[in-house]
């Protein structure tokens, strides 16, 4: 059945007709278009159509009360948006399921090629060196290294952080993430603080970045680089 809209919508009997009368009643009480729309679950254009012949009501509350209502409405909207975000993320996470060793290997190769240090024709440094500030990225990278047979005794760990931050706390944080003793860390790399710079990465949640260097990893680096180009070629062959 074709939906009837426009000027005939207000004349329909039943629920729509009831909503029209309710909209007019709310308008006479001084309610705004948005408030009527929210209560009746209809479009703002329909509300306008239904009540446009009624005089515009005088404000029934003080400006601060209007702001309070607006803020409350925004809070409800944001809470609903947060629920939708969490539901979408949880659904996507559940859809992944168990990751096989092959999937972990390919994921780690892509992750390294996006974030790790790479050999250049003008600077031959065939070594695995990775830096990141996201604990989950670091955990995944460490799991990938374990898959490749890299033990902790081949790692050099170092924190890179602003000089004005709590270095000891940052090292304790990353030691817990990686699963090693803080004594295993090399001396931190400190970034000079520029007082003219407005930094947002401050406070207790700021832990800088963790640098993970794999000693004696030239052959492993070449394997990773080769696997990366294999992924590129494999993706092109599916086109």
Amino acid 9: pLDDT: 42
Q: Shortest CA distance to 57 belongs to which of 25, 19, 27, 23?
A: 27
DSSP state, residue 151 = -
Per-residue confidence band for 16, with pLDDT thresholds at 50, 70 and 90: low
The three-state secondary structure class of 71 is helix
pLDDT in tens, 74-118: 788 888 889 999 999 999 999 999 999 999 999 999 999 999 999
Q: What is the pTM of this model?
A: 0.68
Per-residue confidence band for 60, with pLDDT thresholds at 50, 70 and 90: low
Instruction: Name residue, tokens 């760990």.
Output: 157
Lowest mean pLDDT among 5-14, 35-44, 103-112, 162-171: 5-14
Lowest mean pLDDT among 12-16, 82-86, 120-124, 216-220: 12-16
Amino acid 8: pLDDT: 39
The Cα 117–Cα 127 span in angstroms is: 8
Amino acid 202: pLDDT: 67
Specify the pairing of strand 129-132 against strand 209-214: antiparallel
pLDDT in tens, 140-197: 999 999 999 999 999 999 999 998 889 999 999 999 999 999 999 999 999 887 766 6
């Amino acid at each position: 059945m074709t939906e009837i809209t426009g000027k005939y919508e207000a004349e329909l009997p039943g629920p729509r007709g009831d909503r029209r009368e309710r909209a007019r009643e709310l308008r006479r009480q001084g309610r705004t278009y948005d408030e009527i729309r929210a209560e009746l679950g209809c479009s703002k254009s329909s509300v306008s159509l239904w009540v446009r012949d009624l005089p515009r009501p005088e404000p029934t509350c003080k400006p601060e009360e209007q702001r309070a209502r607006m803020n409350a409405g925004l809070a409800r909207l944001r809470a609903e948006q947060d629920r939708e975000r969490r539901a979408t993320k949880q659904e996507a996470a559940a859809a992944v399921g168990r990751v096989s060793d092959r999937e972990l290997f390919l994921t780690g190769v892509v992750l390294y090629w996006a974030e790790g240090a790479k050999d250049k024709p003008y600077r031959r440094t065939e070594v695995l060196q990775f830096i990141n500030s996201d604990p989950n990225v670091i955990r995944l990278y460490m799991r990938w290294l374990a898959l490749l047979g890299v033990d902790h005794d081949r790692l050099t760990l170092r924190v890179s952080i602003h000089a004005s931050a709590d270095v000891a706390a940052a090292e304790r944080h990353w030691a817990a993430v990686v699963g090693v003793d803080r004594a295993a860390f090399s001396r931190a790399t400190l970034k000079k603080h520029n007082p003219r710079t407005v930094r947002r990465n401050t406070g207790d949640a700021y832990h800088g970045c963790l640098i993970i260097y794999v000693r004696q990893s030239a052959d492993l680096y070449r394997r990773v680089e080769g696997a990366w180009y294999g992924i590129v070629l494999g993706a092109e062959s599916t086109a």
